Amino acid sequence: MNAERLLKGIGVSPGVAYASAVVVRWDLPDVPDREVGADEVDSEVARLRAAVTETVAALAQLQERVRERAGVEESKIFEAQVMLAQDVDFLRSVEHLIRKNRLSAETAFEYKALEIRNLWANSSSTRLRDRLADLGAIQIRMLGILTGKPAVAVWSGPSDGAEQVIVVTHELSPGLTVQLDRDHVVGLVSEEGTRTSHAAILAHSLGIPAVMGAAGALAKIRPGAMVLLDGQAGTLHLDPDPSELEDARVRLSRRQKTELELEAAISQPAESPDGRRYALLGNVDLPEEIQPALRQGAGGVGLLRTEFLVTGRTQLPTEDEQYAYFRRVTEAFAGRPVVIRSFDLGGDKFPAAFQTPHEPNPFLGWRSIRVCLDEPEIFRPQLRAVLRIAADRDVQLMLPLVMEVDEVLEAKRMLDEEAARLAAAGVRAARTVPVGVMIETPAAVALADQLAQVCAFFSVGSNDLTQYTLAVDRGNARLAARFAPHHPAVVRELARVVEVGAAAGIPVSVCGEMASDPLTAVLLAGLGYTTLSVAPPSLPLIKWVLRSVPYAVAHEVATAARDATAPAAVLASLQRATEPFLGRR
């Protein structure tokens, strides 16, 4: 295939669409640098506040629309936008600029919004980069109100009034996504964005196939071009020929058959054809993932990330707030285990008010368990909240980025102290909680035998373990092909961890992304892992895969992978071995 006609991005909402392209660009109002007189400063501040009120009202209307079209959980996406529009620190900084530099409300707003945009765009946190489209949507609204010239979306596309179109744009906001006419717009393409962008989540809920992160899409796709979009593979074929269309049709019908099998898998046991049993748990990063994880049949939560309680906020969450969240999750998963991971903060994952020094290498810096051990006022309230919930529910505490035994002992000492304090104060709480560690540094792999002596379980964080073993930044799109959790070096580490766990008699699981990918999940099963914690949308697929591939086959290919010399060879042999059971993937 001619490379000019094939574009690759990230498949964020599955399905295949074939239609002509409509290119949408925002015609944004010019914001001239405008200064105001000293006597006008107060009225500029008032204008800023009025614009925020109007923006919030418009967002509430959109939220209502999403609630009707996509559901209550999806409509909460707009709550995040409302919070952003009303962010006290941000608005205070704009007001300060108006007063100090005597700038008009729109000039000051634009200036501060650009500052935040640059910060987020260059951040190492995908969560912040994912929020750029939300920020953009608020900028468009606020500047439209403040300049009196609302931004307009300019649509250029087929002149024949095509029935169905694929929208191509630079950055897709949740607002634009929900306003699209579902019958008319059959596919979405954006140059920015990832699987976890709000617009991606919404497109998925609305059932519109979508590809994001398609760099160069606006330059390559001319308005009116025919586009074949595959929202699972993340590919865009421009002006496809009949044989490519036929290929897509076959792929689609095969997938539809798989979809039906996946539906059925949700209520079936996770057991291989030769009788090996697995436990499939869910990774929950945000409250809105609780229900999807339950619906997709998660047997518990293998990784409850807690960073969302901190990011984008001005204050650290209180003990009560954390306790309330843990109660919400554990009540939803009543009778099933929940593994709470202590704060994995670092880099820019701190509340705005928390002063952290700039670090040249945040991923090798002050993050994760290091922060918790150094800053008791962050860690201790979390420990207390965990102990309190453990009085009534089946929870465990998991420590991230551990590299030596002393870190575990220190954390356990603090846990004991907090338990004693709660008991002395007569607060209902457990005396202790099982403490496990994430294996996500090569150091933890090397010292796994020592760590096994002081902890209750291991859970492999394959995202970080791969990053630190291969020295490949997990968030760098340029290195995406080199980021290989199936690399023989990682495979050997994975094999060692499961062996050490078995010898010590402690449970071992994997909660990194490789457990959510069909081929690498087979590799893990073959290495001996029987508990996988998976992103909720992937639960049915992984269940279906584990039910389809005999353990003996997985074991054979995993054993060979330990001696492979290159990741490509591992992948090829996984593909070959699983094809008779899964079909061509």
Q: What number of other Cβ atoms are within 10 A of residue 105's Cβ?
A: 28
Active site residues: 198, 511
Helix (H) or strand (E) holding 29: none
Nearer to ligand PEP among residue 388 and residue 474 (C-beta): 474
Q: Pick the binder of Mg ion from 461, 485, 518, 567 (CB under 5 A).
A: 461
Stretch that binds Mg ion, among 197-205, 319-327, 389-397, 436-444 (CB under 5 A): 436-444
- The stretch near ligand PEP (CB under 6 A) out of 107-115, 137-145, 457-465, 486-494 is 457-465
Looking only at residues 50 through 79 of this chain, which bind ligand PEP when binding is defined by CB under 6 A?
Answer: none
Shortest reach from residue 355's CB to Mg ion, in Å: 24
Q: How far is CA 227 from CA 134, 136, 166, 247, 397, in A?
A: 27, 26, 7, 14, 48
Sorted by sequence, the CB contacts under 8 Å of residue 471 that are 6+ apart come out as: none
For the bound state, the minimum distance from the C-beta of residue 66 to ligand PEP, rounded and expressed in Å, comes to 28
The interface region with ligand PEP, picked from 13-21, 330-338, 347-355, 461-469 by CB under 6 A, is 461-469
Is 461 an interacting residue with respect to ligand PEP (CB under 6 A)? Answer: yes
CB neighbours (10 Å) of residue 17? 23
Residue 277 C-beta: closest distance to ligand PEP, Å: 23
Instruction: Supply the minimum distance, in Å, between the C-beta of residue 303 and ligand PEP.
Output: 6
- Scanning 70-78, 100-108, 234-242, 455-463 for contacts with Mg ion by CB under 5 A, the matching segment is 455-463
Instruction: Compute the distance between CA of residue 307 and CA of residue 286 in angstroms, rounded to an integer.
Output: 9
What is the residue-wise DSSP string for 275-304? Answer: S-B-EEEEEE-SGGGHHHHHHTT-SSEEEE
Size of the site for Mg ion (CB under 5 A): 3
Our finding on whether 344 is near ligand PEP (CB under 6 A) is yes
Q: Which is nearer to ligand PEP, 134 or 344 (CB)?
A: 344
Q: Tell me the Ramachandran region of residue 24: left when phi exceeds 0, alpha when psi lies from -120 to 50, beta otherwise.
A: beta
| DSSP strand pairing (235-238 vs 6-8) | antiparallel
- Measured from the CB atom, the residue of 55 and 462 that comes closer to Mg ion is 462
**512 interacts with ligand PEP by CB under 6 A:** yes
The Cα-based distances of 31 to 98, 106, 140, 266 in angstroms read 15, 7, 11, 53
Smallest separation, CB 510 to Mg ion (Å) = 12
Is 464 a binder of Mg ion (CB under 5 A)? yes
Residue 440 sits in the site that holds ligand PEP (CB under 6 A): yes
Q: Are strands 16-27 and 6-8 parallel, antiparallel or unpaired?
A: unpaired
- Minimum CB distance to Mg ion, residue 200 (Å): 22
| Cβ–Cβ under 8 Å, residues 387 and 397 | no
Task: Report the alpha-carbon distance of residue 510 to residue 459 in Å, rounded.
Answer: 5
Q: Should residue 464 be labelled a site residue for ligand PEP when binding is judged by CB under 6 A? A: yes
Binding of ligand PEP by 511 (CB under 6 A): yes
Structure token pair of residue 106: 């729109």
**Backbone phi and psi for residue 394, each to the nearest 5 degrees, phi listed first:** -85, 85
Contacts with 555 (C-beta within 8 Å, 6 or more apart), sequence order: 526, 528
User: Considering only residues 47, 112, 129, 305, which one is a binding residue for ligand PEP as defined by CB under 6 A?
Assistant: 305
Reduced to 3 states (helix: H, G, I; strand: E, B; else coil), residue 55 is: helix
Locus of tokens 């505490």: 397
Give the phi and the psi of residue 475 in degrees, each rounded to 5: -100, 5
Q: Of 190 and 520, which CB lies nearer to Mg ion in the complex structure?
A: 520
Please identify, using beta-carbon distances, which residue of 289 and 464 lies nearer to Mg ion.
464
Burial (CB < 10 A; 0-12, 13-18, 19+), residue 161, is exposed
Rule CB under 6 A: which of 262-281 touch ligand PEP? none
Count of C-beta atoms within a 10 Å radius of residue 475: 16
- Of 252, 463, 482, 537, the one binding ligand PEP (CB under 6 A) is 463
Q: What's the CA gap between 16 and 237, in Å, rounded? A: 11
CB of 368 to ligand PEP, least distance (A): 8
Query: How far is Cα 92 from Cα 79, in angstroms, rounded to an integer?
Result: 20
**468 CB-near residues (< 8 Å, 6+ apart):** 440, 441, 442
C-beta of 41 vs 535, nearer to ligand PEP: 535
CB of 440 to ligand PEP, least distance (A): 5
As a residue count, the chain comes to: 585
From the list Mg ion, ligand PEP, none, pick the one residue 511 interacts with, judged by a Cβ distance below 5 to 8 Å according to partner type.
ligand PEP
Is 302 a binder of ligand PEP (CB under 6 A)? no
Q: What are phi and psi of 150, to 5 degrees?
A: -60, 140
Can you give 179-228 as a three-state secondary structure string? Answer: HCCCCCEEEEEECCCCCCCHHHHHHHHHCCCEEECCCCHHHHCCCCCEEE
Select from 76-84, 428-436, 462-470, 475-483 the region that touches ligand PEP (CB under 6 A): 462-470
> Residue 139 or 467: which CB sits closer to ligand PEP?
467
The piece of 26-34, 428-436, 458-466, 523-531 that touches ligand PEP (CB under 6 A) is 458-466
Total of chain residues touching ligand PEP, rule CB under 6 A: 10
Taking the least distance from each CB to ligand PEP, the nearer of 171 and 344 is 344
Pick the closer one to ligand PEP by CB: 240 or 512: 512
Among 322, 462, 531, 548, binds ligand PEP (CB under 6 A): 462
Residues that bind Mg ion (CB under 5 A): 440, 461, 464
Residues that bind ligand PEP (CB under 6 A): 303, 305, 344, 440, 461-464, 511-512
